[in-house]
């Protein structure tokens, strides 16, 4: 198994007191080095412009990659960049693209991208919700266009709906998007009725759902749908903010729930995708929970 990361991802600074802070990635890297030091650690490359333009507009890419300012620049009420954000965004997207190449070319069947900023809220033409470039969508589009895959499953268990990923692939049946998320939370999208071209499956969980409801939902509805899609590649938006200790949500999951779902997704990848699975870090804002969940997640992927 491969872990992709880069120190540039620690330099993206949205400002004092911002939840999506560099300490998030710092604790993940410390924990993974402690518990999974034997894995194949690789430096995330810089994403190529052509890959970014597979899912984003030229104008949006230029906005995110602009360094001609000092201090902070506000892109939306939740999303702030600094001059160092350009390098972080390019390495985060580049990590997922490199991971897709690696698992498809057969060097390793599984990869985890320990990067930030996260990506699943970024739409084709806008940054939002702490996200600059949609890392997982860029990787999925790369798998389609550069490797010729016909069925890529994107599984999103972040507590917030990945509206950007859904919007990017809404009319592309080669990508199926599966998301469970807490009802009533930002970005206030992701209703079960949002089916797009029949390639989207959303499930709402009420606050306080806990392990039992979460596991039943995935076991009874979501996992069978992923199996039926027969993905050639499984990609995971791995947000751990549904954890009971997270300050931004109330879904009340435990570390073992993320490990369980990761293991089930790994089984699907082994059954249909020659084991090919790529995961990228999304949300998670309690440092202790993030540390525990990232270690448990990688343990199930390897």
146 vs 126: CA distance, rounded Å: 24
CA-to-CA dists, residue 169 to 69, 83, 120, 151, 273, angstroms: 33, 30, 12, 12, 20
130/119 Cα distance (integer angstroms):
8
DSSP type of residue 1: -
- Which residue in the list 12, 60, 121, 160 is annotated as catalytic? 121
Helix, strand, coil % in the chain, rounded to nearest 5? 40, 20, 40
Active site residue 18: no
Q: By C-alpha distance, which of 53, 238, 69 is closest to 160?
A: 238
C-alpha closest to that of 287 among 251, 236, 241: 241
Q: Which helix H or strand E contains 5, and what residues bound it?
A: strand 2-5
Alpha helices per DSSP H over the chain: 22-35, 49-52, 58-65, 85-105, 135-147, 163-168, 210-217, 223-229, 255-272, 287-301
Cα-flanking dihedrals φ and ψ of residue 283, to 5°?
-85, -175
- Quote the CA–CA distance of 263 and 276 in Å, as a whole number: 13
- Positions marked catalytic: 121
């Amino acid at each position: 198994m491969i872990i992709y990361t880069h120190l540039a991802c620690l330099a993206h600074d949205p400002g004092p007191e911002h939840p999506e802070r560099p300490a998030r990635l710092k604790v993940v890297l410390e924990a993974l080095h402690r518990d999974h030091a034997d894995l194949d650690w690789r430096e995330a490359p810089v994403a190529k412009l052509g890959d970014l333009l597979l899912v984003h507009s030229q104008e949006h890419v230029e906005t995110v990659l602009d360094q001609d300012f000092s201090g902070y620049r506000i892109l939306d009420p939740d999303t702030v960049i600094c001059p160092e954000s350009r390098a972080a965004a390019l390495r985060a997207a580049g990590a997922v693209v490199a991971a897709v190449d690696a698992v498809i070319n057969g060097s390793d069947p599984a990869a985890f991208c320990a990067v930030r900023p996260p990506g699943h809220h970024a739409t084709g033409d806008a940054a939002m919700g702490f996200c600059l470039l949609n890392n997982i969508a860029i990787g999925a589009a790369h798998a389609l266009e550069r490797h010729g895959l016909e069925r890529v499953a994107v599984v999103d268990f972040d507590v917030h709906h990945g509206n950007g990923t859904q919007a990017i692939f809404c009319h592309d049946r080669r990508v199926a998007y599966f998301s469970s998320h807490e009802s009533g939370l930002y970005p206030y999208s992701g209703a079960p009725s949002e089916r797009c071209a029949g390639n989207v499956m959303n499930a709402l969980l009420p606050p306080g759902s806990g392990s039992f409801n979460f596991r039943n939902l995935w076991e009874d509805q979501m996992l069978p749908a992923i199996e039926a899609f027969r993905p050639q590649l499984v990609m995971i938006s791995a947000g751990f903010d549904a954890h009971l200790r997270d300050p931004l949500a109330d879904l009340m999951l435990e570390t073992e729930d993320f490990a369980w779902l990761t293991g089930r997704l790994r089984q699907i990848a082994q059954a249909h995708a020659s084991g090919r699975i790529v995961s990228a870090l999304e949300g998670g804002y309690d440092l202790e929970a993030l540390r525990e969940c990232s270690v448990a997640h990688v343990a199930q992927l390897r």
